[in-house]
Amino acid sequence: MQIANFNMNSIINNIIDFGRSIGLRIHTQSIIFTDSFLPHILIQRGEIYVNPELVSVSNLLHECGHLALIPSKFKNDFSGNLYSGFNNYLSQSTEVDSIQYYLMQAADESGATAWAWAAGIFLNIPEEEIIENSSYDHSGEYIRNELRSGWHSGISGLHYANYTSKGNLKLLQTVTDKKVFPEMDFWTADEVLSHHGVDSMASSG
């Protein structure tokens, strides 16, 4: 059910401001995108072009999630439906159990969904706008329940890539500074790599 009495333009602007604050390149344009994969939002060479008057909250959050989870070195490969970019990224040679390996695993569709949920909660966006009921072949309510309960597969990906900790590890909060999903220690792949002393523009193989 749609949440009434909130300013949609303000929410969209908050998402854009947040995305820019973590290093995403987001451009606003008051045009109709005719060749975009999702309505009113277009990705070209790792940059987001969006019509803020028409784009949905859920689509904007999700696409921000995809690009946030990609290291800067590979962003230029991502355009349109992102498939070609992902194929190139996932073809890179990485050592199993390395942080680069886990970042790759986290950068899938489920990872972007979990990231979008965490960002939406952080920005105090109504849950039904973060993931609409009609999303994911009308299974949006089910996906929201998975994310609330901590059972969504994308959360595991974010956990192993060091973005956050899974919800069933709340004990960590009492013994470390590690945050528990939907709170995030890091929002971008570049931040994770920097934390591990890896140059996000360096070769991974």
Cα(11)–Cα(17) distance, integer angstroms: 10
Identify the residue with better confidence: 23 or 93: 23
Identify the residue with better confidence: 128 or 199: 128
Cα(36)–Cα(81) distance, integer angstroms: 8
Instruction: Give mean pLDDT, residues 92-111.
Output: 86
Neighbour order of strands in the sheet with 26-28 = 26-28, 47-50, 41-44
Report pLDDT for 90: 77
The answer to whether residues 104 and 92 touch, using CB atoms and an 8 Å cutoff, is yes
Using one digit for the tens of pLDDT, what is the confidence trace for 13-58? 999 999 999 999 999 988 776 666 787 899 999 999 999 999 999 9
Using one digit for the tens of pLDDT, what is the confidence trace for 162-186? 999 986 545 545 545 778 999 999 9
Report pLDDT for 39: 79
Instruction: Report CA-CA distances (Å) from 43 to 24, 83, 127, 150.
Output: 11, 12, 25, 29
User: What are the DSSP calls for the chain, one per residue?
Assistant: -PPPSS-HHHHHHHHHHHHHHTT--EEE--S--SS-SBTTEEEETTEEEE-TTT--HHHHHHHHHHHHTS-HHHHTT--TTSHHHHHHHHTS---TTSHHHHHHHHTSHHHHHHHHHHHHHHTT--HHHHS-TTHHHHTHHHHHHHHHHT--HHHHHHHHTTS-B-GGGTTHHHHSS--BTTS-S-SSHHHHHHHTT--TTS---
The answer to whether residues 204 and 196 touch, using CB atoms and an 8 Å cutoff, is no
Averaged pLDDT of the chain? 86
The position carrying tokens 């009921």 is 133
Cα(55)–Cα(40) distance, integer angstroms: 5
pLDDT band at 91 (very low <50, low <70, confident <90, very high): confident
Tokens read off for 200: 């996000």
The answer to whether residues 97 and 151 touch, using CB atoms and an 8 Å cutoff, is no
Using one digit for the tens of pLDDT, what is the confidence trace for 126-143? 999 999 999 888 889 999
Report pLDDT for 204: 43
